[in-house]
A and B are shown apart, each in its own frame.
Chain A
């Protein structure tokens, strides 16, 4: 799975599940201007797990991974590689 596909998949999940039609790859998801709260993050992660067929590694999960679509893409690619290794 290439990076663009992962990014598009994440945006689709964000648009549909979180009802954020205006989000793009640089939209801040958390932090002072981000609107994602921690409960919503869990919903987002659960949907991403289903979408990309991987299991969330809680140890490996940091807030930095969740900042925007770019960082989420890196984290998902890394998690998928970790599962395959």
Chain B
């Protein structure tokens, strides 16, 4: 799934060469509509350009399109380096990036180093919104606001870099509020989207659709929980979901997906722990909890998260594709006093 498009500038976003003739640059016709349309689908835009950053920013501001771009890379090194940097800053995989450039050498070089990056010839920029790889199922509130979330994340990172106190003190000053509830139908499109967008924190690396979500909720003793996050930098929307089923004296986590956008704040553990705690309070007769985990390197964080919550590895399924985790109840008491948890 493409999460960010990285654009070249000269003869791609605009006609002309900024360094040579800054006054005669013109925006390519219809490019702003392309940017807006993809932005509304939740696809981010970034820039990899061999120009000076200050000059680029002032030109983009002059055209009124600067707000659409995040993590700009303007320097004279290889664009492959720029893409790696963008992936790192946005905390996404290289396979989630697409690259648009008018220069076939640049596109060839990109694919030489990173064959997983989808490249587009800039002359077909008006066709981009129709590209099958840039389609999204539903435009959720989260996708329409993704750029703002990303900017808030970058502001938080900057504040973090400038902060001198302890890590916990910093997190407290972020004034995080985690709201955990059972999902309602308005949340379903975002739940589906989360399952498609998450890898590292997707317990089964499973992609689900809306009929699955609806039918899951209709089953007896099956529940879906969702988590929303706010902090002093803004509202981060619905960032996690957890599917639970009760069977006999066991609670089974069928799937959990948590956005990696909120990594580094202890939010994932707080979310899953709170869900488990609420279930235990409601069904005190339960004796154990289970969770099946796909055995792939990409979701190692999901495995570590379970282990942090006290789950232990029970057995591997025969085909070794899944690992079964178990947690015996009662649940140990844990506090997450760097954030506020509400309903």
Contacts and interface: CB of A to CB of B under 8 A. Distances in A.
Contact of A35 (B160, B167, B302, B303): B167
Interface of B, secondary structure class, is helix
A72 to B, nearest CB: 14
Contacts of A13: none
B196 interface: no
- Pick from B164, B266, B303 the residue with the most CB of A within 10 Å: B266
B307 A40 contact: no
B166 interface: yes
Interface residues of B, number: 30
Given A37-B305, A38-B304, A41-B304, A19 B160 contact: yes
B308 interface: yes
B224 interface: no
B267 A37 contact: yes
Report the interface size class on chain A: 20 to 34
A38 B262 CA distance: 12
Contact of A37 (B163, B168, B263): B263
A40 B264 contact: yes
Nearest to A23: B167
A22 B269 CA distance: 23
A77 interface: no
A30 interface: yes
B143 interface: no
Contacts of A62: 307
A32 interface: yes
B300 A37 contact: no
B264 A37 contact: yes
B202 interface: no
Interface of A: 18-22, 30-32, 35, 37-43, 58, 61-63, 66
25 contacts: A19-B163, A22-B166, A30-B308, A31-B308, A35-B167, A35-B168, A35-B171, A35-B266, A37-B265, A37-B268, A38-B300, A38-B301, A38-B302, A38-B303, A38-B305, A38-B308, A39-B268, A40-B264, A42-B301, A43-B264, A58-B297, A58-B300, A62-B307, A63-B304, A66-B304
